[in-house]
């Protein structure tokens, strides 16, 4: 028996010895911080927590592999450096590197080896530009920093693998090496740049998520410094950021080459894609709930934007819209016009902007929708000239008629004018400026306040060759909204093309195009439901020629097409108003006649117009001006001193027939009256009362007939 018990205890002791490593807390669970960690050979750290009070250095030939472990820097000062020297290797596998915010940085040198998979790097980097004025203001000049060390994670070797990581609250992750694949990472809490590439080519960035950078600071999700090449940026998601993707728009301004940007999603972003590119494609992007810009293309060449969806530019946040932010950013916005440039950001929202200059830009088969007043679908904001570009097959919907969730106000910017328009339109689906050889073809405009214009906030003029062909434009006639407590009503313009220019001699390129021959061709379009279907205003008719051919204009109030325009084969079906003299009253006594003309204005849309009303007494004419703004009854009064006796008054509305009407025969009335006795005043015509009496009489007749039939039927039955 004793021997059996002895064997049992021996087995128990052996079992406990076997499992004892699982029961002992690892020595790294609550470690004493090391002053410095220098790795010269292979160091495998598995399921441990290392604390370092100084620096970490992986020397050439050294190898640090962290698996399911944490490396923590202790203490904010002095700052800590985590350096991987040439020939060294760092592998992070399901591990975490952390420390106090802005206390440490990681630098992986050229010739080393680096991989990070399913790991977390947080709080790294102190160069977040939080005290830089350019960083405070969201816009040019954009922040630029070519320095090294201190950015958070800087990689100067091609990564073996960089996948599935969480990068939290860093200043930046920077790649100086080429040929990297960066995929399926989540980048949270950008203090400056989410991921940046400097001198780094041939990279693939796909499937990453960039979230939560401050709206009122210049934070970037993905940033490519000038001159990089052969980049693939695909299927990434950007949310709650200032700028989503940025490329090349900092000194030395060298364009990015051969970029393919496709399938990325942006939500709650101030500016989506801001780039200077050459020989590149932007395809299938999906941007919604934006603030300022969907896609901004500056000084670019041979760029295609195709199949993108940009909609709902109504993002609003007090951190940017407040007066406090304006005052904070004011010293960094513009030396002379800070408020105007601030309004660019705040109010001039739009889908795609082509800026500065460009050549061979193609915008094809994109969908742009739900842009508030003063905004645009596509805009050219060009200091020099954009050449040989096309806008083809796009759909624009609800541009300029969407009332946003904030109080609207005018941006306060000037514009070149269009002939006979008494206002500068508040934006358009396509805004034209400084283009040469531009083709706008086969686009569809649905419920847009304005279609294609050269007059809009801050327009400086368009005067090159232009073809507008086979487009369908369906308007809204007008749009209303409140500004500073007052209702404003804007009349819609389908196509409004002029050649007026503001400072065309500002540079030699614009001056050359301004003084060259140009042809404006407007052919085969269908334009419906605009107050002004077409406005042409060619200022230099010896150099600039306009042709309007084979278009259909339907349901409009006005066409402004001067005699110098070559026009043929157009089908016209206007929506005509009716200016009807409803009544004329005369009160004549004591050598004075008070003449009141009642004019009924009939039109289903507001139509702001100054109308001439001609009143002639005994052949002596007086022209009165009547301003009509909406359908209804208007009165024009004229007081005249006359001799006693009989007189004849004649009234003509729109005597020169400047306004085409449904009925031109009800614009004239004549009346004879006598001074010395009071003419009995008659009331204005009340058409609704006449209709009511007619209906009442009809009802009485029907009742009488029914009573007679009932009486006859009863007699026969009886």
- If phi over 0 gives left and psi between -120 and 50 gives alpha, with beta otherwise, what is residue 458? left
Rounded Cα distance, 8 and 585, in Å: 126
Q: What is the CATH number of the domain that holds 609?
A: 2.60.40.10
Report yes or no: 442 and 393 within 8 Å, Cβ to Cβ. Answer: yes
Report yes or no: 522 and 468 within 8 Å, Cβ to Cβ. Answer: yes
- Structural domain ending residue among the three candidates 519, 542, 575: 575
- Residue 164's SS3 state is coil
Residues 532 and 388 in one domain: yes
Residues 556 and 631 in one domain: no
- Domain range enclosing 661: 578-685
276 part of a folded domain: no
Output the pLDDT for position 367: 98
Residues 715 and 587 in one domain: no
122 part of a folded domain: no
Output the pLDDT for position 130: 77
Residues 454 and 426 in one domain: yes
Count of all residues that appear for the chain in the document: 718
129 part of a folded domain: no
Please name every residue paired with 288 in a beta bridge, in sequence order, or none if there are none.
267, 311
Report yes or no: 365 and 340 within 8 Å, Cβ to Cβ. Answer: no
- Structural domain ending residue among the three candidates 575, 609, 630: 575
Residues 516 and 629 in one domain: no
Residues 571 and 666 in one domain: no
| Strand pairing class (620-628; 609-617) | antiparallel
Residues 479 and 598 in one domain: no
Residues 614 and 644 in one domain: yes
Please name every residue paired with 624 in a beta bridge, in sequence order, or none if there are none.
613
Instruction: Using the Cα atoms of residue 656, residue 661, residue 663 and residue 666 in order, give the sign of their dihedral.
Output: negative
Residues 437 and 539 in one domain: yes
Q: Tell the residue number behind the tokens 């592999």, with chain if given.
A: 65
163: exposed, middle or buried (Cβ count in 10 Å: 0-12, 13-18, 19+): middle
Rounded Cα distance, 447 and 437, in Å: 28
Helices (H) and strands (E) in the chain, counts: 7, 59
Rounded Cα distance, 285 and 365, in Å: 12
Q: What is the DSSP letter of 77?
A: S
* Phi, psi dihedrals of residue 596, rounded to the nearest 5°: -120, 125
* Phi, psi dihedrals of residue 94, rounded to the nearest 5°: 55, 40
∠ CA 168-123-289 to the nearest 5 degrees? 35
281 part of a folded domain: no
Query: On the CB side of 399, how many CA atoms lie within 13 Å of its CA?
Result: 38
What is the total count of domains within the chain?
3
Q: What is the DSSP letter of 31?
A: P
Report yes or no: 128 and 192 within 8 Å, Cβ to Cβ. Answer: yes
329 part of a folded domain: no
Residues 615 and 490 in one domain: no
Residues 594 and 459 in one domain: no
- Structural domain ending residue among the three candidates 575, 593, 612: 575
468 part of a folded domain: yes
Per DSSP, the residues of 83-136 read EE-TT-EEEEES-EEE-STTSEEEEE-TT-EEEEES-EEES--S---TT-HHHH
Q: From the CB of residue 13, how many other CB atoms can be counted at a distance below 10 Å?
A: 10
- Residue 176's SS3 state is coil
Output the pLDDT for position 698: 61
703 part of a folded domain: yes
Per-10-residue mean pLDDT, the chain, length 718: 48 42 40 92 97 97 98 93 98 98 97 98 92 82 92 98 97 97 97 96 98 92 98 98 96 97 97 98 97 96 98 93 91 88 85 96 98 95 95 97 84 86 92 97 98 94 97 94 86 96 95 96 97 95 96 94 96 91 89 91 80 92 89 91 90 90 90 72 47 56 60 46
Output the pLDDT for position 16: 39
Output the pLDDT for position 30: 59
Residues 534 and 614 in one domain: no
pTM: 0.83
545 part of a folded domain: yes
Output the pLDDT for position 676: 75
């Amino acid at each position: 028996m004793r021997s059996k018990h002895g064997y049992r205890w021996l087995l128990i002791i052996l079992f406990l010895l076997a499992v004892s490593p699982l029961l002992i807390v690892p020595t790294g669970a609550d470690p004493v911080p090391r002053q410095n960690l220098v790795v010269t050979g292979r160091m495998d750290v598995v399921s441990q927590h290392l604390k370092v009070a100084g620096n970490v250095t992986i020397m050439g030939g050294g190898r640090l592999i962290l698996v399911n472990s944490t490396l923590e820097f202790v203490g904010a000062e002095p700052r800590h450096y985590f350096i991987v020297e040439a020939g060294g290797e760092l592998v992070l596998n399901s591990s975490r590197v952390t420390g106090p915010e802005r206390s440490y940085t990681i630098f992986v040198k050229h010739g080393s080896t680096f991989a990070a998979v399913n790991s977390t790097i947080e709080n790294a980097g102190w160069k977040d530009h939080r005290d830089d004025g350019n960083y405070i203001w969201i816009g040019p000049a954009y922040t630029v920093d070519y320095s090294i060390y201190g950015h958070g994670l800087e990689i100067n070797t091609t990564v073996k693998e960089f996948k599935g990581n969480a990068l939290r609250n860093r200043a930046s992750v920077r790649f100086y090496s080429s040929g990297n694949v960066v995929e399926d990472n989540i980048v949270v809490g950008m203090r400056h740049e989410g991921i940046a590439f400097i001198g780094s080519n041939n990279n693939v960035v796909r499937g990453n998520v960039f979230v939560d950078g401050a709206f009122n600071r210049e934070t970037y999700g993905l940033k490519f410094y000038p001159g990089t090449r052969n980049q693939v940026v695909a299927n990434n998601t950007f949310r709650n950021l200032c700028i989503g993707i940025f490329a090349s728009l900092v000194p030395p301004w060298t364009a990015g080459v051969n970029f393919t940007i496709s399938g990325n999603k942006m939500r709650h972003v101030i500016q989506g894609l801001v780039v200077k590119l050459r020989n590149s494609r932007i395809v299938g992007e999906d941007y919604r709930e934006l603030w300022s810009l969907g896609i901004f293309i500056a000084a670019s060449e041979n760029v295609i934007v195709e199949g993108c969806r940009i909609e709902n530019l109504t993002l609003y946040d007090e951190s940017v819209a407040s007066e406090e932010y304006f005052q904070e950013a004011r010293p960094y916005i513009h030396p002379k016009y800070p408020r105007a440039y601030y309004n660019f950001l705040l109010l001039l929202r739009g889908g795609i902007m082509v800026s500065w200059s460009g050549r061979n830009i193609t915008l094809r088969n994109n969908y742009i929708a739900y842009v508030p007043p003063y905004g645009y679908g596509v805009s050219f904001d060009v200091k020099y000239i954009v050449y040989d570009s096309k806008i083809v097959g796009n759909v624009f919907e609800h541009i300029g008629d969407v009332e946003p969730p904030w109080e609207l106000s005018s941006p306060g910017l000037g514009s070149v004018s269009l002939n006979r328009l008494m206002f500068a339109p508040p934006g358009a689906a396509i805004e034209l400026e400084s283009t040469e050889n531009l083709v706008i073809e086969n686009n569809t405009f649905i419920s847009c306040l304005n279609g294609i214009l050269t007059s809009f906030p801050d327009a400086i003029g368009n005067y090159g060759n232009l073809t507008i062909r086979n487009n369908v434009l369906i308007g809204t006639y007008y749009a209303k909204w409140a500004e500073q407590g007052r209702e404003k009503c804007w009349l819609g313009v389908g196509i409004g093309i002029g050649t007026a220019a503001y400072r065309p001699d500002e540079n030699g390129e614009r001056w050359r195009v301004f003084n060259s021959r140009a042809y404006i061709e407007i052919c085969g379009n269908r334009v419906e439901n605009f107050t002004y279907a077409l406005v042409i205003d060619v200022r230099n008719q010896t150099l600039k020629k306009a042709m309007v051919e084979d278009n259909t204009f339907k349901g409009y109030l006005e066409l402004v097409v001067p005699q110098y325009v070559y026009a043929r084969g157009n089908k016209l079906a206007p929506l005509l108003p009716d200016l009807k003299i409803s009544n004329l009253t005369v009160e004549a006594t004591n050598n004075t006649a008070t003449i009141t003309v009642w004019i009924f204005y009939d039109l289903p849309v507001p139509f702001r117009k100054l109308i001439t009303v001609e009143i002639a007494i005994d052949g002596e004419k007086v022209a009165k001006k009547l301003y009509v703004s909406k359908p209804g009854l208007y009165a024009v009064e004229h007081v005249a001193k006359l001799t006693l006796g009989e007189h004849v008054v004649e009234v003509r509305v729109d005597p020169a027939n400047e306004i085409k009407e449904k009925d031109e025969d009800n614009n004239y009335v004549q009346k004879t009256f006598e001074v010395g006795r009071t003419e009995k005043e008659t009331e204005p015509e009340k058409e609704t009362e006449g209709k009511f009496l007619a209906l009442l009489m009809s009802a009485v007749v029907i009742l009488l007939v029914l009573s007679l039939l009932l009486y006859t039927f009863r007699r026969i039955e009886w």
